[in-house]
Amino acid sequence: MTVSLPIRKWFILGLISLVYVALYGSLMRYKIAFSFPFLDQKNILHAHSHFAFTGWISHILYSGLTLLMAPFISTKRATVYKRIIYLNLICSFGMLIAFTIKGYHIISMTFSALCIVASVLYSIVFITDARKVKEKRPAHIWAILGLLFNILSALGPMVIGYIIVTHNMDSRVYLASVYYHLHFQYSGWFFFGGLALIVNMLPRQLVASLSKHFTILACVVIPTFVLSILWTKPPMWLYIITVISAIIQLGAWILILIKGYKFLHGEENIHYPNWINIFFYASALAVTIKYTLQAVSVIPSLSHLVFGIRPIVIAYLHLVLLGIHSLFIIGYAFAKGFIKPTKFAKIASFSFLVGVILNELFLAIQGIGAFTYTPIPYINQLLLVAALTLFISATSLLISQINKE
């Protein structure tokens, strides 16, 4: 018997978080395009990025993984999951407010640390319960791996916090710690946490067929971190391992797409409406672009040149956060019925997809302009339009669900 969980409520709370993420993105773009002196840009940036990770993506993943464990736990045990999920959400909003007002400060760092505590607590509870399940399920295995990467990624913020508290600023260590956290969140926790949700939706035959490819992707997570810090000039043996890992990663993903498409194309019982599949296809395309960019970035001179251009770095980060994970979450929520597919909700969701595309397109144009030293007229205003499209779309999606409720 599956315990009752307020899963739809959790997803609506997640949409509220998405609205705040988009709002802060719009504020930053407005401050760049026009004048808005009341808030510090760096504080908004830190609030935006930290909250997007914990209050949006992680919150949804915790909610989805709890649903996977629901058939195997008691009502009393489900209460533990609920408390941890709310703890993470409360601390995320506390962090959002604290970063907005004070930036890196003892209060914001405390809320950030509490979010890490919540992630550790959730991991302990989930792994403990998963080990008690007699029949080992692939979804549980990938969820555990994602949770372990989540804990591993926490070392980055801890080092950053130490640097700020001690005022022992080493720009190279600081930057490496930022990239470390981003890598193990994006390529570790977010990817394998989302993979657990996907695997639970797929036929067992397909999951068994793809398991070795998923294992390959898991094995290359750690070595591909070096792609983010090629500017440290790693030793040749480590560089060779990194190059091989990046190529293998891209190859494994392409095989997953080929096998998955051939298998799913003939399975009528797992087809979702075409309009929902568009979000899954867009997310898969974004993953393909991500792995392709990582494979290309193995060239040190190109990596140094490209990752030195801020718009390209931001485009890559948004490609992962918005293009891969946010679009997947929207498609997943519709497919599972956690977001009701009203006409207004569909329009808002596709508007959000358009916002993602515009954001990536304008950032790419800005990056190419910076690369060629060519000024792009009104590019900051265009990026503001893309940000506002995301904000209005997310708000509309939230409103559609409140009215439905």
Q: Answer yes or no: is 157 within a domain.
A: yes
Give the residue from 55, 151, 150 showing the smallest Cα distance to 95.
55
Structure tokens given for 329: 């979450």
What's the confidence (pLDDT) of residue 304?
67
Helix, strand, coil shares of the chain as percentages rounded to 5? 85, 0, 15
Give the residue from 368, 361, 367 showing the smallest Cα distance to 383.
361
Q: Answer yes or no: is 243 within a domain.
A: no
What's the confidence (pLDDT) of residue 269?
52
Q: Answer yes or no: is 164 within a domain.
A: yes
The answer to whether the CB of 244 falls within 8 A of the CB of 292 is no
Total domains in the chain come to 1
Q: Answer yes or no: is 12 within a domain.
A: yes
- Whose structure tokens read 């080092």? 159
**Could you read off the pLDDT of 337-354 as tens digits, one per residue?**
999 999 999 999 999 999
What's the confidence (pLDDT) of residue 175?
87
**Could you read off the pLDDT of 257-287 as tens digits, one per residue?**
998 887 777 655 567 888 999 999 999 999 9
What amino acid occupies position 99?
A: F
Mean pLDDT of 236-250: 93
Q: Supply the DSSP string of 15-53, one letter for each residue.
A: HHHHHHHHHHHHHHHHHHHS--TTS-HHHHHHHHHHHII
Mean pLDDT of 28-48: 87
- The model's confidence at residue 305, banded by pLDDT at 50, 70 and 90, is low
- The model's confidence at residue 306, banded by pLDDT at 50, 70 and 90, is low
C-alpha dist (Å) from residue 84 to 89, 180, 190: 9, 25, 18
Q: Answer yes or no: is 264 within a domain.
A: no
What's the confidence (pLDDT) of residue 41?
87
- The model's confidence at residue 203, banded by pLDDT at 50, 70 and 90, is confident
- Whose structure tokens read 């773009």? 29
Per-residue b/e over 43-52, b at no fewer than 16 CB within 10 Å? Answer: bbbbbbbbbb
For residues 340 and 325, give the distance between their C-alpha atoms in angstroms, rounded to a whole number.
19
**Could you read off the pLDDT of 12-33 as tens digits, one per residue?**
999 999 999 999 999 999 998 8
Mutual angle of helices 59-69 and 7-33, in 10-degree steps: 160
Structure tokens given for 404: 């439905």
The answer to whether the CB of 173 falls within 8 A of the CB of 159 is yes
Q: Answer yes or no: is 359 within a domain.
A: yes
What's the confidence (pLDDT) of residue 376?
86
What's the confidence (pLDDT) of residue 270?
62
Q: Answer yes or no: is 263 within a domain.
A: no
**Which CB contacts under 8 angstroms, 24+ apart, belong to 337-341?**
337/8, 338/7, 338/8, 338/11, 339/11, 339/15, 339/397, 339/401, 340/400, 340/401, 340/404
The three-class DSSP label of residue 294 is: helix
Q: Answer yes or no: is 290 within a domain.
A: no
What's the confidence (pLDDT) of residue 202?
85
Give the residue from 395, 323, 330 showing the smallest Cα distance to 356.
323
The number of beta carbons lying within 10 Å of the beta carbon of residue 166 is 8
Which residues span the domain enclosing 175?
A: 7-204+301-404
What amino acid occupies position 331?
A: G
Kindly report the CATH number assigned to the domain that includes residue 363. Answer: 1.20.210.10
- How many Å is the Cα radius of gyration of the chain? 21
List Cβ neighbours of 186 (8 Å cut-off, separation of 6 or more): 320, 321
Q: Is the pLDDT of residue 400 over 60?
A: yes
For residues 2 and 349, give the distance between their C-alpha atoms in angstroms, rounded to a whole number.
30
For residues 314 and 350, give the distance between their C-alpha atoms in angstroms, rounded to a whole number.
22
